[in-house]
Amino acid sequence: SQQGEEDPQALSIQEGENATMNCSYKTSINNLQWYRQNSGRGLVHLILIRSNEREKHSGRLRVTLDTSKKSSSLLITASRAADTASYFCATFIQGAQKLVFGQGTRLTINP
C-alpha cells in the first residue's frame, strides 16, 4: 500500500489564489519532502521538513507537519501560471532509510 497519499489528486485554481495540498502517511518518518514536476524542469526539490519541526517557509511556500496525525500540507500563496505542475510529497521512512513518493497532486493555475 502507498506510504504517502496526496489529496486532492487534481486542483484547478485562478492565478493569484492560494493552493493547498495535503499528504498523509502511515509509518514513522525522519523527514518529509515536497517536490515539483513539470515538463520543462523535471522533478525539483522544494522543501524538506524534519520530524521535529512543525512548520517551514520558503518564499511563497509554507509546509506544515503534524506527526501525531501523520499528515503534512503544502500551501502555495499568490499562485502564478508557472506553478502549474504535479506536486509530490515524499516521506523518508525511519528504519527503511529510504524516500517513498506519493502519487502526486496535479495543480493547474488558470490565467
Partner 1 sequence: EAGVAQSPRYKIIEKRQSVAFWCNPISGHATLYWYQQILGQGPKLLIQFQNNGVVDDSQLPKDRFSAERLKGVDSTLKIQPAKLEDSAVYLCASSFNNFYEQYFGPGTRLTVT
Residue identified by cell 515538463 is: 39
Could you please report the per-residue DSSP string of 11-78?
EEEETTS-EEEEEEESS-EEEEEEEEEETTTEEEEEEEEETT--EEEETTEEEEEETTTTEEEEEE-S
Name which of residues 51 to 90 contact partner 1 (CB under 8 A): 88, 90
Nearer to partner 1 by Cβ, of 15 and 92: the residue is: 92
Q: How far is the CB of 18 from partner 1 (least distance, A)?
A: 24
How far, in Å, CA of 15 to CA of 81, rounded?
Answer: 6
Q: Mark 3-42 with x for binding to partner 1 (rule: CB under 8 A) and - for no binding.
A: -x-------------------------xx-x--------x
Q: Is residue 99 within the footprint of partner 1 (CB under 8 A)?
A: yes
Q: Is residue 98 within the footprint of partner 1 (CB under 8 A)?
A: yes
Q: Closest Cα to residue 89, out of 98, 79, 99?
A: 99
For binding to partner 1 (CB under 8 A), which residues are involved? 4, 30-31, 33, 42-45, 48, 88, 90, 92, 96-104
